[in-house]
Amino acid sequence: MNGSAHSMLSADGVVVSYGPRPVLHGCDINLRAGEIVALFGHNGAGKTTLLRTLAGLKQLDRGTIRISGEDVCRMSASRRARSGLAFVPDGAGGVFGSLTVAENIGIVCSERQARGNETLDLLTEMFPVVMKEKRGQLVSRLSGGQRQMVAMAVAIARQPKILLLDEPSLGLAPVVVEEMLAAVKHIAQRLGAAVLVVEQDMPAALAVADRVHILKQGNMVLASPAADFPSPDDLWKYF
């Protein structure tokens, strides 16, 4: 990825606590347009907290978060969403189980608009099963993998500039994981979105990532191009 690519989201010295317990200890991260950054770390390392803080769902104690150069630390989660940030939590959050797939998509993507039609074409290309075969089904009746795809499709329907994904492959079959992450790559390339993905499946994430960060006990201990990511034998020191 070209290092001169436009910075869509940057975080500098982010410190976050839950009550008296510090969780993030001055984290830095930068997301550039059209690239995918994979974030690895053990459970409890602070990965989800970082995503929630970037999305505006958790208040930071210190530090700065900027979207396209604008300080958004005092900006609400809804305003960050309107500025082009989409966050997909784990467990297919952000979708309505009592609505059909088409109804969930329709909330954010009107079929009556030309832009909406282009987005629907893109979503159908990336998620043909849920967008074609399952579009009339209630989301609550879909499999876990299909619900996750709907959550991704809803986020993409917003045509985000920044996409934050918290373990999109959690509980999914390997073939579905490959499809999901291939769609993520497609989003970055087709929409020019900056993508930050928290993922436990390292090989699958490395296959699509441009850069990699490792978070350990609230500290960013590695930031590396994906091509230079340490071998498995050298990874132990980071975990």
pLDDT-based confidence at residue 148 (cuts at 50, 70, 90): confident
More confident residue, 124 or 198: 198
Judgement on whether residues 171 and 220 belong to the same structural domain of the protein = yes
Judgement on whether residues 78 and 168 belong to the same structural domain of the protein = yes
Lowest mean pLDDT among 37-41, 44-48, 73-77, 121-125: 121-125
Q: Which of 159, 194, 219 is the last residue of a domain?
A: 159
Number of folded domains that form the chain: 2
Q: Given this model, what pLDDT does residue 92 score?
A: 66
Q: What confidence tens digit (pLDDT) does each residue in 170-184 have?
A: 777 777 788 778 888
Judgement on whether residues 166 and 146 belong to the same structural domain of the protein = no
Q: Which of 159, 188, 218 is the last residue of a domain?
A: 159
Q: Which residues contact 151 (CB under 8 A, 6 or more apart)?
A: 88, 92, 93, 94, 95
**What residue numbers bound the domain in which 62 lies?**
1-84+162-239
Domain of residue 190, CATH code: 3.40.50.300
* Range 125-139 average pLDDT: 89
Q: Which of 109, 136, 159 is the last residue of a domain?
A: 159
Judgement on whether residues 176 and 199 belong to the same structural domain of the protein = yes
Judgement on whether residues 50 and 2 belong to the same structural domain of the protein = yes
* pTM as predicted: 0.90
Please give the helix or strand (H or E) that residue 79 lies within, else none: helix 77-82
Beta bridge partners of 220: 215
Judgement on whether residues 132 and 170 belong to the same structural domain of the protein = no
Beta bridge partners of 212: 38, 224
More confident residue, 15 or 106: 15
From CA 77, how far away is CA 79, in angstroms rounded?
Answer: 5
Percent of the chain with pLDDT over 90: 56
Judgement on whether residues 150 and 170 belong to the same structural domain of the protein = no
Judgement on whether residues 138 and 113 belong to the same structural domain of the protein = yes
Judgement on whether residues 8 and 109 belong to the same structural domain of the protein = no
Judgement on whether residues 3 and 79 belong to the same structural domain of the protein = yes
Q: Given this model, what pLDDT does residue 113 score?
A: 54
Lowest mean pLDDT among 13-17, 73-77, 129-133, 137-141: 129-133
170: nearest Cα among 207, 197, 188: 197
Judgement on whether residues 71 and 170 belong to the same structural domain of the protein = yes
Highest mean pLDDT among 9-18, 124-133, 135-144, 155-164: 9-18
Map tokens 């500098």 to a residue. 12
Give the mean pLDDT of the chain: 88
Judgement on whether residues 125 and 215 belong to the same structural domain of the protein = no
3-state helix vs strand vs coil in the chain, percent to 5: 40, 30, 35
Map tokens 């990511």 to a residue. 229
Return the CA Rg of the chain: 17
